[in-house]
Amino acid sequence: MSAYYTHALWRVRDGSEAKFVHLWENDLARAFRAAAPSATGTLIQSLEDPSLFYSFGPWPSLDAMADARQSPEVDQALKALRALCVQASPGAYRVVLEIPPRT
């Protein structure tokens, strides 16, 4: 289990959803993997509101997260994503509780 996560809400301008997914999949994923080769992430889209996305991903440490976010390539990819949005709120989080799976 990772103790740290990035999480973001993305509200994309109407008609920019496909471009947003393309940039997230290609530019941001490539930049994060270059900065942190073990980086993984998930992007989900609302079924009721196709302009609403959330992304999240685990990090092994705060240092790894900070190092990746300081990468010029990551910064450039995030700026390109934000340019497609009317709202973007990425942030860093820590796990405080997990409910165990049912047995």
- The CA distance from 96 to 58, in Å, is 14
Examine residue 19 and state whether it is found in any structural domain, yes or no.
yes
Give the residue numbers spanning the domain of 61: 4-94
The 10s digit of each residue's pLDDT in 26-75 is 999 999 889 888 889 999 999 999 999 999 999 988 898 988 889 999 99
Examine residue 103 and state whether it is found in any structural domain, yes or no.
no
Examine residue 59 and state whether it is found in any structural domain, yes or no.
yes
State the total domains in the chain: 1
Examine residue 13 and state whether it is found in any structural domain, yes or no.
yes
Q: What is the CATH number of the domain that holds 73?
A: 3.30.70.100
Q: Is 24's pLDDT higher than 90?
A: yes
DSSP class per residue in 25-85:
IIIIHHHHHHH-TT---EEEE-SS-TTEEEEEEEES-HHHHHHHHT-HHHHHHHHHHHHTE
Examine residue 102 and state whether it is found in any structural domain, yes or no.
no
Examine residue 23 and state whether it is found in any structural domain, yes or no.
yes
Examine residue 57 and state whether it is found in any structural domain, yes or no.
yes
